């Protein structure tokens, strides 16, 4: 069976001194080396939508999916150059009603305010050939939402972003990986093709496309650890 690593990144760049959970930052140079290594190993780095034929088992090949959560400005400034240099695409999951603002949902916990892309910058990301996915409107814990709130957050972020970029938005990512059967049903109902969690492991065609596992890439990984997570069942055992 074809195992497909869906790589999960948050921030690309150098962590601010006071930031907690500094491992969520992958340095710009490390990210560039990881992308180059993928290419040298014969992998193509793809967005979620570009990878769907592989995730559905219709195609097989050496592909890795690149995802970036939350829509930080550093995706545009620090990740995009390395993605382009290797001719890769990637999906950035955007919180649709926080454009141009900061991570108000976890700034206090992480002790750092991180700049999110403005509406204009989200359009630039898309215009550069990259995918815009949805990550809710306000980054709530979805399992605690009422049914009406679920529709607002899940279907609402899809329509917000489609209006912004003028293209279909078919990929969703659950904030905090917080998901249950009701949240999955609402996501399917909203018309998404697939959705990702924070559960660890590589994806395969037998998985529910609405609950895909991912491979966490953290800043402390040396290149060989990145390779082990990519190529072996190391992450699958942690799912
Ligand atoms: Zn998030």
Q: Which pLDDT band holds residue 233 (cuts at 50, 70, 90)?
A: confident
> Which CATH number covers residue 184?
3.20.20.370
pLDDT digits (tens, 9 = 90+) for 68-122: 999 999 999 999 999 999 999 999 999 999 999 999 999 998 999 999 999 999 9
Does residue 221 fall inside a structural domain? yes
- Whole-number Å distance, alpha carbon 136 to ligand 1 midpoint, is 9
Q: Which stretch of 48-62, 110-124, 217-231 has the lowest confidence by average pLDDT?
A: 217-231
- Whole-number Å distance, alpha carbon 138 to ligand 1 midpoint, is 10
**What is the end-to-end Cα distance of the chain in Å, rounded?**
17
Does residue 223 fall inside a structural domain? yes
Axis-axis angle for helices 156-165, 119-127 (nearest 10): 70
Q: Which of these, 187, 167, 171, 106, lies nearest to 134 by C-alpha position? A: 171
In the predicted structure, residue 239 carries a pLDDT above the cut 70: no
- Whole-number Å distance, alpha carbon 117 to ligand 1 midpoint, is 14
Does residue 115 fall inside a structural domain? yes
- Whole-number Å distance, alpha carbon 21 to ligand 1 midpoint, is 14
**Overall number of domains in the chain:** 1
Q: Which pLDDT band holds residue 220 (cuts at 50, 70, 90)?
A: confident
Q: Which pLDDT band holds residue 238 (cuts at 50, 70, 90)?
A: confident
Q: Which pLDDT band holds residue 9 (cuts at 50, 70, 90)?
A: very high
- Whole-number Å distance, alpha carbon 40 to ligand 1 midpoint, is 30
Tokens (6 digits) for 116: 């999110």
Rounded Cα gap, residues 130 and 84, in angstroms: 9
Does residue 88 fall inside a structural domain? yes
- Cβ count near 127 (within 10 Å): 9
- Whole-number Å distance, alpha carbon 209 to ligand 1 midpoint, is 19
Averaged pLDDT of the chain: 94
Mean pLDDT over 36-49 rounds to 96
- Whole-number Å distance, alpha carbon 119 to ligand 1 midpoint, is 17
Count of residues making up the chain = 239
User: What is the predicted pLDDT for the residue at 2?
Assistant: 82
- Whole-number Å distance, alpha carbon 69 to ligand 1 midpoint, is 5
- Whole-number Å distance, alpha carbon 140 to ligand 1 midpoint, is 9
Mean pLDDT over 231-239 rounds to 80
Ordered alpha helix ranges (H), 13-155: 28-40, 48-55, 73-74, 80-85, 107-110, 119-127, 147-150
- Whole-number Å distance, alpha carbon 9 to ligand 1 midpoint, is 10
In the predicted structure, residue 219 carries a pLDDT above the cut 90: no
The parent domain of residue 164 ranges over 6-238
pTM value is: 0.95
User: What is the predicted pLDDT for the residue at 1?
Assistant: 64
Q: Which pLDDT band holds residue 47 (cuts at 50, 70, 90)?
A: very high
Rounded Cα gap, residues 79 and 84, in angstroms: 9
Q: Which stretch of 31-45, 155-169, 213-227 has the lowest confidence by average pLDDT?
A: 213-227
* 15 DSSP assignment: P
């Amino acid at each position: 069976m074809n195992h497909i690593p869906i790589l999960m990144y948050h921030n690309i760049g150098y962590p601010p001194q006071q930031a907690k959970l500094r491992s969520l930052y992958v340095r710009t140079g490390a990210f560039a080396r990881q992308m180059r290594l993928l290419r040298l190993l014969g992998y193509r780095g793809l967005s979620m939508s570009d990878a769907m034929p592989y995730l559905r088992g219709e195609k097989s090949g050496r592909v890795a999916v690149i995802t970036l959560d939350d829509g930080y400005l550093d995706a545009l400034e620090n990740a995009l150059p390395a993605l382009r240099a290797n001719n890769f695409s990637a999906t950035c999951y955007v919180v649709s009603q926080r454009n141009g603002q900061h991570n108000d949902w976890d700034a206090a916990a992480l002790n750092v305010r991180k700049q999110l892309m403005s509406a204009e910058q989200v359009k630039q990301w898309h215009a550069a050939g990259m995918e815009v996915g949805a990550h809710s409107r306000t980054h709530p814990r979805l399992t605690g939402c009422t049914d009406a709130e679920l529709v607002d957050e899940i279907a609402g972020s899809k329509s917000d972003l489609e209006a912004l970029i003028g293209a279909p938005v078919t990929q969703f990512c659950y904030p905090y990986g917080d998901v249950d059967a009701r949240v999955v049903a609402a996501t399917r109902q909203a018309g998404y093709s697939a959705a990702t969690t924070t559960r660890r492991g590589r994806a395969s065609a037998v998985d529910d496309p609405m609950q895909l596992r991912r491979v966490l890439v953290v800043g402390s990984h040396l290149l060989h650890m990145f390779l082990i997570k990519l190529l072996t069942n190391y992450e699958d055992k942690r799912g």
